[in-house]
A and B are shown apart, each in its own frame.
Chain A
Amino acid sequence: MLPLSNIIEGKMQPIPEEIIIKASEGDMHAFEEIYRRASGYVYTIAFRVTGRREDAQEVTQDVFVSVYRNLSKFRFKSSFKTWIYRITTNKAINVYRKRSKERARTVAFDDAIDAGPVQETGTDLLEKEHSQDLVRSMLNSLPDEQRACLVLKEIEGLKYEEIAETLNIKINTVRTRLKRAREKLISRYRKRG
């Protein structure tokens, strides 16, 4: 099993084919290895797209159950990493849309937005919280498709080609969504002074 420090920085590293094959044959140790390597990326995308930890946890669980059930159908035509990113963004966007509909019906939604339990104190924590709040409010100000593009680009560090493959869109569409998202963020930044 990889130590945590090796798997939480940078882009998700490719997962060896033999681990994927073993997991597809029902080997739970191999599947846990996949989970340990990829869950941080899945959870981070899910949290950045949905904005809520409990939704991110639900999405992460759904993604890995779905991956396990469909492993035997995976034919290595696309990268395994892209496949996981695709399932994650689709599920996260769906959950976000579902929550948005619920939000339209209730005012309490905003109060339920969760930044996680506060256990630390001090200036560092305040800065960290400020930074987390800033990221969340920036992403929340964007339409879900632009947000997904921006998360894959800025937080996951994917290239345009990888984003296009993940979201099943053209590279020019990736470019357009990123441009519009950044224009919105700049406009918001200027308004706030």
Chain B
Amino acid sequence: MKCGKIRKMILTDYIDGELDPGQRKVVEDHIRSCPRCGELLQIVRDAAVDPLKRAERLQPPEETWHGIKGVIEANRPESPLSGLRERLREILAERKPAFAVLTASILIVIAALVARTYLFDRASLNMYLEEQLSFIDALNNGDRENGSYTDIGIPMEDFLL
């Protein structure tokens, strides 16, 4: 391989470890036999690589994190639910007696409605059963005057015949 190509590799792929083992061996064999390319490798290391590789890695001052956190928190959008949740918590904490009275009143009304409905249904059922029993009884006794079938004013048998 010619010096021109080797010199380009020294400045880039060789010094940066980007060559495969075969290519690397070709460059190293050339450098051993070519003083000019060997000198270039040394000067690349001294002038352009080693001082940078030795450069200290730095850490930002702690105040940088506080600054970042401050910017993020200042610009964080309010969640619509978070406000509602807070408001509900306040209401429940501050107005407990009022809510207790309201809840008790609602429960009493519900209980009254349920009881009323239940009692009304029992009375209606009893009335209905009594009517049915007296009707059946009237049929059994042949008491035409006492049956509701006479309500139209004509004896049923006469009507059918």
Q: Which residues of A contact B (CB under 8 A)?
A: 4, 8-9, 26, 28, 31-32, 35, 39-44, 47-48, 56-57, 60-61, 64-65, 68, 128, 131-132, 134-135, 138-139, 150-151, 153-155, 159-160, 175, 178-179, 181-183, 185-186, 188-190
Contact = CB atoms under 8 A, between A and B. Distances in A.
Nearest to A136: B55
Tell me whether chain B's interface is mostly helix, strand or loop, or mixed.
Answer: helix
Interface of B: 8, 11-13, 16, 18, 43-44, 46-49, 51-61, 64-65, 67-69, 71-72, 76
A55 B72 CA distance: 20
B16 A8 contact: no
Contacts of A47: 58
A73 to B, nearest CB: 16
Given A44-B58, A56-B60, A68 B65 contact: no
Interface of chain A: mostly helix, strand, loop or mixed: helix
Contacts, number: 106
A189 B43 contact: yes
B16 A178 contact: yes
Contacts of B76: 26
A8 B12 contact: no
Contacts of B67: 61
B66 to A, nearest CB: 10
A92 to B, nearest CB: 13
B43 A186 contact: yes
B60 A60 contact: yes
A10 to B, nearest CB: 9
Contacts of A68: 68, 72
B64 A154 contact: no
A186 B68 contact: no
B131 to A, nearest CB: 71
